[in-house]
Amino acid sequence: MQMRGEISNMTTFMEFVLLGFSDIPDLRWILFGIFLLIYLTIVLCNSIIILITQVEPTLQSPMYFFLSNFSFLEICYVTATIPRMLMDLCTQKGTISLLACATQMCFVLTLGGTECLLLTAMAYDRYVAICHPLHYALIMNHKFCAQLVAASWICGIPVMIGQTCQIFSLPFCGSNRIHHFFCDIPPVLKLACGDTFENEIAVYVVAVVFVMAPCLLIIMSYGRIISNILKMPLVGGRAKAFSTCSSHLIVVVLFYGTAIITYLQPKPSQSEGGGTLISLFYTILIPTLNPIIYTLRNNDIMFALRKLLSYQHGRKT
């Protein structure tokens, strides 16, 4: 009888239940339509950015090479969460196996860490362009840019896999209901039994390395950038320099602000509803805004986009 009870307890925790938006079932089809439209918009807009930065000769520079990689990253990032959420809204089940939950967490963490590092590389590119313009082509050559992008993608993989394994090696007891729409660290850790102090410290350390340290480097880069821009004699030159940096700076503030609130906020002050709302912001809303920010505030991309659309229109006529 004791062995049967143990087996029963083990099978209970072979899966979690993502509650997501189960508390508002009457709105599930409206939410499904909204999130599906958002997902398709993110994929389409970022795909267009990737396309025009590849085919347009005037956009063959390090800044647009980084932007192309950033757009691909955004597609991967939203794909790690939204399709699963859409399926849960359709079925209203929300059940997810331990392995699937761990896999989703690992992908979200790895892609989030990559975004932090890639945003830092983009800030460094702007720093060299404005503070060392004469040496820009020499420093930001294609090989070095490719190395920065590769490092951004690769560096976080072993760390995030290790952190995910550490979290899912914990025993889970009591409730298996995750008050979230995807498997994120804070809501999953709340379901763990026993002392999770070491895991929480590990989360803070990783957050400091992949969130705070890159954030400080970006702040330092923009400190130097703004200082150099203010020294420019021509007002037109200042305006152009500010316009090339402002889009990236807006994205940095939005992404890092929500990431810091999520992973560096003291555990007792985290509410379930507040955590879900913040996660919606940085996993869905910011990726939706990013293509708009980068296209509407960038004359080169808007020109290339109009050129592509007019070419397609000319072919049809």
CATH number of the domain within which 278 lies:
1.20.1070.10
The count of structural domains within the chain is 1
- Read off the pLDDT of residues 58-79 as tens digits, 9 standing for 90 and up: 888 998 999 999 999 999 999 9
Q: What is the pTM of this model?
A: 0.87
Residue 97 has pLDDT above 90, yes or no: yes
β-pairing, 95-97 with 177-178? unpaired
Residue 8 has pLDDT above 60, yes or no: no
At 2, the pLDDT band (50, 70, 90 cuts) reads very low
Residue 300 has pLDDT above 70, yes or no: yes
Q: Tokens 């794909």 appear where?
A: 79
Q: d(Cα 272, Cα 268) in Å, to the nearest integer?
A: 11
Q: What whole-number percentage of the chain has pLDDT above 70? A: 86
- Using CB atoms within 10 A of its CB, is residue 32 exposed (0-12), middle (13-18) or buried (19+)? middle
At 9, the pLDDT band (50, 70, 90 cuts) reads very low
Q: d(Cα 275, Cα 285) in Å, to the nearest integer?
A: 14
Higher pLDDT, 250 or 296: 250
What is the rounded average pLDDT of the residues 195-203? 88
Strand partners for 178? 18
CB atoms under 10 Å from CB of 48, counted, come to 18
180: helix, strand or coil: coil
Higher pLDDT, 314 or 254: 254
- Read off the pLDDT of residues 220-277 as tens digits, 9 standing for 90 and up: 998 898 888 888 776 666 776 677 677 778 888 888 877 777 776 655 445 565 667 7
| Boundaries of domain holding 219 | 2-316
Among the listed ranges 143-147, 185-189, 254-258, which one has the minimum average pLDDT value?
A: 254-258
